[in-house]
Structure 1
Amino acid sequence: MNTYTIKNIEHALDELDIQRGDCVLVRADLRYLGLFAPEPRQAPAVLFQALAHRVDLTVGTLLVPTGSLSLCNSSTPFDPKTTPSELGVFSEYVRTREGAVRSFHPFFSYTALGAEAEEICSSVPRHAFGPRSIKDRLVTRGAKMLSLGAHPRFTCTTVHHAEFMVGVPYRYTKEFIHPVVRNGILQNELFYLYVYYRECNIERNRNRKIWERFPHGQKACCGKSFFYSYNIKDFYEHSVSMMQEDIYIWLNHPPTNKPYRK
């Protein structure tokens, strides 16, 4: 099927465990779904309305990642009100909705709408992962992840939160001084990312080994691809458990060069 309609979207959501009152993180790559009928440009709006109706934003919450990693090592200011999302048309559509709340991180932000939008996205730490981060708050809530179009092993960043909490040796915290607009004032502030040692020459397996042993997701066909949902807490705990068994599970093999070894 090269096209999909609102009925296909609704049917796919019917097959997944997405309920009224849920907190749902959505990562959408609409390219893989095909063309929305009758008008492809309407796809982000129709999809948003279907999801908003499903969770009911008076009691539920929708989030999307609205990262802007291209700002790293640049002098381009981050303004949460105007800096566009770099993670697809659906992400940008949600970011620009009235009432949307965006977390304050120049490279790794999220935007939410609904009952818990303020509570989840406000007063976040300066690190993308770790205690009180967006991921930590979603794990605590047992929020759901909904991957649209692409397999979730290509869209999941919860695994990096697990890496942070376990303390994998091939990553370290890097500090950035970046210009931001806060309360209408341009100023330089400190922010942090969890990056890997270049010297390791690591080979990522794109979560393949972790996902091969994660049995808790749900899949529903839509257009040329599918919708896939799972509980973020379940996946986080699964990832932590696997990393405790094999600290290099996220890699094809342990690094041959280990600059972190004394």
Structure 2
Amino acid sequence: MIQTLAEEWTEAGVRKGDVLLVHSNIKLTFKRYFKLGVRLSPQDILESFLEAVGPTGTLLLPLFNFDFTKGVPFDKRSTPSYMGALTEAGREHPLSVRTGHPIYSFAAIGASANTFKSIDNFSGYGEDSPFSVLRKMNGRIAVLDLPDQNSMTFYHHVEEMMEVDYRYHKTFSSDYTDELGNTELKTYGLFVRNIEKGILTHVNPAGELMWKEGLYTGCRPKEGSGLRTVSAQEMYEFTSNIIQSGKAKNTLYRTEGK
């Protein structure tokens, strides 16, 4: 079934050699295959994506965990992902390496994993982040059975690069334990929405525009394989154009109560 899944991902735009960031909800994939008499595991789905990108490709999985923002210590070796079972399978993969940001870290598996291993970005979405590296490596983003609102953190990378006025820079500090077991107090940043101004993330309209413009390849959530893909660079250019043209409100964000 791993090969069959890999073929589905290929039909949705995943290519051999891709640097591929995958956001996922794997429940519907489980259900689809269970109806065919196949009981999948998160590891099976992980292997299917690795098969799809091939030995020259690299898979990125979000290991986002927001406890550090509350002062909870972070341990690069063991702090779990809050992004679902597939991401935990990626974190625990024997060849996986983890990027350094304690809130927005990633698992990287594959040919370019060492490029990501050295990343210890200060700002979660910034110029030094894995989002930026993905874009510069002509990578792609894949989303499995999730709307943009619940998956596409890449929008925030573009917003930070464009220094939008509805977000601002904020820092968080707590104990941080690295891969060697060394612990120290460290501070990291995020480009957060301005809650005092009632700013709410509202990116589904941008997602619909990407479908309309033909930037997305593959299937919408709950249809077919449920996987869609987009070029990170094309998404960056598309989103920056929205911001530059003054159309971010009600396309990338909205204000509370409106």
Relative to the length of structure 1, the TM-score reads 0.86
201, 222, 235: which is aligned to 2:198? 201
CA distance in 2, matches of 1:237, 1:121: 27
The question of whether the paired residues in 1 share the 8 Å contact of 2:168 and 2:192 is answered with yes
1:18 aligns with 14
* TM-aligned CA distance change 1:134 to 1:10, over 3 Å: closer
Instruction: Give percent identity, aligned residues only.
Output: 23
- Does residue 107 of structure 2 align to residue 111 of structure 1? yes
Letter in 2 for 1:216: L
Describe how 1:132-147 pairs up with structure 2 within 5 A. Answer: 132-147=128-143
SS at match of 1:62: strand
Displacement after TM superposition at 1:132 (Å): 2.1
Q: Does 1:244 align with 2:241?
A: no
Give the aligned residue type for 1:51. Answer: F
CA displacement, residues 183-234 of structure 1 (integer Å, 9 cap, x when unaligned): 31221011111112221112432x1232232221112479766111111111
Query: The residue matched to 2:41 in structure 1 has which SS?
Result: helix
Tell me whether 245-254 or 154-163 shows the greater mean CA deviation.
245-254
In structure 1, distance between residues paired with 2:152 and 2:216: 13
Query: What amino acid maps onto 1:194 in structure 2?
Result: F
Give the AA of the match of 1:166. Answer: M
CA distance in 1, matches of 2:107, 2:208: 30
State the alpha-carbon separation in 2 of the partners of residues 217 and 70 from structure 1.
32
Query: CA 1:155/1:112 → structure 2, altered by over 3 Å: closer, same or farther?
Result: same
Q: Could you tell me which residue of structure 1 aligns to residue 47 of structure 2?
A: 49
- Residue by residue over 1:55-114, the C-alpha shift from the partner in whole angstroms, topping out at 9 and shown as x without a partner, is 123x1100100011133223x321111111110000000100102110011111001001
1:17-96 to 2 correspondence within 5 Å? 17-35=13-31, 36-37=33-34, 38=37, 40=39, 42-57=40-55, 59-74=56-71, 76-96=72-92
1:46 and 1:242, CA in 2 relative to 1: closer, same or farther beyond 3 A? Answer: same
Would the alpha carbon gap of residues 197 and 232 (structure 1) be closer, same or farther in structure 2, given more than 3 Å must change?
same
Q: RMSD of the TM alignment (CA)?
A: 2.4
For 1:245 and 1:111, how far apart are their aligned partners in 2? 35
Shift of 1:124: 2.7
- Give the letter aligned to residue 44 of structure 1: P
Checking the alignment, whether the CA contact within 8 Å between 1:100 and 1:113 is kept in structure 2 is yes
- Which structure 2 segments of 5+ residues have no match? none
Maintained 8 Å contact 1:176/1:192: yes
Q: Distance in 2 between matches of 1:239 and 1:217?
A: 13
Partner of 1:235: 235
How far off is 1:255 after superposition? 9.8
Read off the aligned partner of 1:133 and give its amino acid letter: S
